[in-house]
Chain A
């Protein structure tokens, strides 16, 4: 106990760190320097996971063709028939492979 106190006094007087103090300081410094890095790594990982989740769950984009390509309207007496038809082909996606 006295040795420790003496060592501390020596450190105060001479600027010599007591045994173990230097290592603890270095550890603290490393720890405080590493925290933002770890946070950045975690945030990047979370962002990548969110983007991947969105990419694989997004709806398949529809082909941009006109909605109705054929229109027919026939009326005779009180009978009226209407037919509007358009056909699109779903583009292949990565998920179809």
Chain B
């Protein structure tokens, strides 16, 4: 039960453009980037430079990353980095993005998904994500949307956000479920 609630909170925070979502105010532009074995602190500094928003790192934030991005939003990037390195995000009162560390416990690892589909209705993909996350994720007004999705070891929240961003859709909470509105 706790894990379900935690996952719901993570999914909601990752995709919902609400005031309590620390990543909601990041710019929506998509970036291309390729880095090999870059310290995560350097990557976060890059995020600060691109977004124009101050990023404050806790001392615990460490590690290296290799990135290859084509047309990826900062939000998708941070969700994946956060999930991969067990980082947490929050906003300070002055609007700075605070990056901290979560305990890297395997049981807190967010739902990951492998899938490869081409030109399938969005509702089918959401069904797969819904099963992986063990929570209802539905679409509204997206009947004409077909998606190509290929993922490997990808956090459900990041996949969901990436699809929503690509389809110019919003993700809303609906009770204990999430709904993509096109």
Contacts and interface: CB of A to CB of B under 8 A. Distances in A.
B106 to A, nearest CB: 12
Contacts, number: 113
A31 interface: no
Per DSSP, chain A at the interface is: strand
B153 A68 contact: no
A62 B163 contact: no
B79 to A, nearest CB: 10
Given A88-B119, A89-B145, A76 B64 contact: yes
A53 interface: no
A63 B118 CA distance: 12
Interface string A57-97: 00000110001111111111101111111111110100000
Interface residues of B, number: 41
Given A62-B119, A70-B30, A76-B64, A87 B167 contact: yes
Interface stretch (B1-9, B50-58, B66-74, B91-99): B66-74
Contact of B85 (A67, A69, A76): A76
